[in-house]
Structure 1
């Protein structure tokens, strides 16, 4: 059995409704060639692409409806080089790409150690959020607060398991709740299937996940053979994976970094669909990707970090102008109590002096820069003294 087949074996997917399947055929490039009172015959719109036909009943009330739909899905599977259940999910979801991960635990088929399963599921969720967030954030280290659209999109994805090996299969909807094209009044699998835009948000996420995985593997191999240093992951080049994506790809194999395969299968409803891409991620690659994630998080500036704490040190040359303050506090990035240096303008510096004299807490937001053990907030977007009881009276 090939990796492609073993990665997502045929499962008990929900049998699509007849109207949904017909709309899917229309949206993915099929036309009705012939019809009568009992059946309709479909062929690919492009002549000569495939000498294959699909026959559908005209009613779902026929006794062998499930068998006929199964035959139709098998025919589509041959044409699209996707698995029948992937196509069924695509139809039932109203348009969805699939990302499947086949784990290789030392366990009976269909089972996995709890730590491995938990690590993989958490990693898949983080991978989706990070790739969705990267569409709006061109940074190697994402800000602590992920874009709401990225989090909302991840909540729309659906995770299932497949029989055989321990396979996690993720359905990624083509449209998200923020899409102008989406219509909440249209049930999944209905007319919206033929109105999917060429590059919906979900397809952009799938493309990003695939591109980031390919780039991460390439860089990991270059580092492994000594052609590049680990710092090459810090180059902001096209498709460069961010730290969260790297950490997710490193964690998919679990704590022991077991070999895993990841498969990307795109829906034809968004156009440009190609044969599924199957990638094998080795233990060595996973370890390097984990090291790269740590490297980025300690060496790259992080945007939008907020620190709250007490002023413990102040310094400026002269009695006026800009100055430096040190905040002993906790950041929303790590949750750890540390010292952070900030450069303040005259007005903010005077406020820092007042806070220090009265034991008041301050809050500052900016880009976190880490140099060894020195942490600084640069390019501040806000600085404020948190009022004390005396200020509220």
Structure 2
């Protein structure tokens, strides 16, 4: 089975999928405004093999009527796949299979292929009073006075509105590609379906929660991150030791870590997502089983925690390497445009790098530095040095 090296589970930015062993968790999530968040596993531990998000690959991530998307995952006998994605012409209804998910193998070990749409159900999240489904639905709508339990919608909802069967609103097909690899095809075939995130991000007590599993040098780590009222912290757990080895304030509403790589036996490279402000990389020393950040970068750098990129200083060793961006630039380019230019790391040569844009993606220069004497020699970079970072003009 191919192992997942880097993925993330997004519990607030739906659609998402989970791949795990059989589970019997039927308990709904309840809302509230706790001053303390306690996360407790009250079930028997089940291995989460792969997780992630899926979306349309076109200009918009929304899967429009008649469009489809696909993703691959690996699975062994006895495992199932589950996912959730919103029914956009409703207030808070969503599609998902029943627990423990869609079975992937027959009892004799034969992979299951073909149309599995009959296993998809339509559910009411219980946070909004349902309006008549259709294009006139106003989002986010009126909140329930008391959040209701998640319930299946079989034809009609609590307000008496009627719905077609979930299997006619969404088509799901499985294709087995060998070597424990499946491909799931999500096809939005109903002419009145638009898919949006389930949750209302404007709620004062909105909570987002991410899980990122990483396997490096045959060691398994899991990153847990929650964000409440705009503030968040992520924690790195050594899975074998069942111990939190590192924690830090997160700088994004997305998955906090973009890269998690081994430099050598006692040093790890982490690249943090900074949302609209780009990325930053830093090195952690793991000597004596103590994880500590270190000053491991040398070269011209921006001021710490500054978004003023006009000047760079030739200071001493610093903690972070910045690949800086901003909201104005990101608004003018597709979300995936910068992926080929952002911070990367070659484990074989112990080389960190990024690409400096000149006149576009076909004209870029690779800036790199090898790990020597426990440091990298490389400058910070702001993509606005080569791309227009001025606000888009407003027509008069």
Q: TM-score range by the shorter chain?
A: under 0.3
Larger Rg computed on CA atoms: 1
Which structure is higher in helix share? 1
Structure with the bigger RCO (C-alpha within 8 Å, sep 6+) is 1
Give the strand-richer structure, 1 or 2. Answer: 2
